[in-house]
């Protein structure tokens, strides 16, 4: 196993994870943002993740598979299997892990004696894990430029997400200090995903296309099942769409310039 690669995955995913906590810091100076702005911010995160899924995971995954098996069809099939596995993993996690979204409400197993704040933490952690996994897989392919692009993109989308999360926590009655602390705490999940992703593909390079597909599928599930519905809530679909397009364009340029 290439230890430097795993370290890169750890460092990159940790930097990306810090974006959630850093994004929460402005609540020390602002009390609220409009729901329309929240829709734009959530949509922006979805757009970044969508572009990262396409340009930094699926396309490189197919290219890596073509190198391993000498067939684009086999490569596409392996990436497809990974996408299905990643989506199924997130579906299973959402189905059975007790958690609560700020806008969708409670999901998963019903554990009534678990404090509500921890249900929020679990929900955000389930969201952040595939992001860390994606960064780790990006570095695990020995493509440092691709890993850097994913680190910057995921980190940038975590900043507005952290602000929305922190404001939601404050609106639920938590102090600003608690909201910031929880935001930083949830970001710690990303390095865990980063280590797993980088280690998996470093141990067996032929696993890379499936691993990239897995990370892509997990992120696609989060985008479709959570972020876009939340960005479109209360009739602000246009604001969410503007955010999605802006985030997608930014991540596309990051992938071209850094990847």
30 within some domain: no
For residue 53, what pLDDT is reported? 93
Mean pLDDT computed over every residue of the chain: 83
Model confidence at 76, in pLDDT bands (50, 70, 90)?
Answer: very high
Model confidence at 81, in pLDDT bands (50, 70, 90)?
Answer: very high
201 within some domain: yes
What does the pLDDT look like over 186-222, one tens digit per residue? 888 899 999 988 888 877 677 889 999 999 999 999 8
33 within some domain: no
Query: What is the rounded distance in angstroms from the CA atom of residue 229 to the CA atom of residue 209?
Result: 29
244 within some domain: yes
Query: Domain total for the chain?
Result: 1
Query: What is the rounded distance in angstroms from the CA atom of residue 55 to the CA atom of residue 123?
Result: 26
Query: What is the rounded distance in angstroms from the CA atom of residue 104 to the CA atom of residue 230?
Result: 8
149: which residues sit within 8 A by CB, 6+ positions away? Answer: 52, 56, 138, 254, 255, 258, 259
Closest C-alpha to 134, from 60, 42, 26: 60
31 within some domain: no
Task: Determine the structural domain holding residue 58 and report its residue range.
Answer: 3-25+39-258
Residue 120 pLDDT > 80, yes or no? no
Do 186 and 9 touch, CB atoms closer than 8 A? no
Closest C-alpha to 61, from 239, 208, 189: 208
Say which residue, 227 or 13, is predicted with more confidence. 13
Determine the Cα angle at 107 with ends 103 and 109, to 5°: 160
92 within some domain: yes
For residue 114, what pLDDT is reported? 47
Say which residue, 250 or 96, is predicted with more confidence. 250
50 within some domain: yes
Model confidence at 107, in pLDDT bands (50, 70, 90)?
Answer: low
Residue 26 pLDDT > 50, yes or no? yes
61 within some domain: yes
């Amino acid at each position: 196993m290439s230890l430097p690669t795993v370290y890169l995955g750890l460092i990159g995913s940790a930097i990306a994870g810090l974006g959630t906590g850093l994004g929460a810091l402005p609540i020390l100076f602002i009390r609220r943002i409009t729901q329309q702005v929240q829709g734009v911010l959530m949509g922006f995160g979805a757009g970044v993740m969508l572009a990262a899924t396409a340009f930094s995971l699926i396309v490189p995954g197919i290219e890596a598979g073509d190198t391993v098996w000498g067939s684009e069809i086999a490569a596409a099939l392996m990436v497809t299997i990974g996408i299905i596995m990643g989506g199924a993993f997130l579906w299973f996690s959402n189905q059975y892990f007790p958690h609560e979204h700020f806008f969708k409400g409670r999901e998963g197993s019903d554990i009534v004696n678990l404090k509500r704040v921890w249900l929020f933490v679990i929900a955000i952690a389930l969201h952040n894990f595939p992001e860390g996994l994606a960064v780790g897989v990006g570095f695990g392919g020995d493509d440092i430029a691709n890993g850097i692009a994913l680190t910057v993109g995921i980190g940038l989308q975590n900043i507005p997400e952290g602000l929305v999360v922190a404001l939601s926590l404050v609106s639920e009655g938590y102090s600003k200090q608690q909201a910031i602390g929880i935001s930083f705490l949830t970001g710690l999940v990303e390095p865990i995903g980063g280590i797993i992703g980088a280690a998996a593909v470093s141990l067996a390079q032929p696993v890379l296309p499936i691993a990239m597909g897995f990370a892509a599928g997990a992120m696609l599930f989060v985008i479709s099942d959570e972020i876009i519905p939340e960005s479109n809530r209360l009739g602000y679909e246009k604001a969410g769409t503007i955010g999605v397009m802006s985030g997608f364009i930014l991540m596309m340029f990051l992938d071209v310039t850094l990847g």
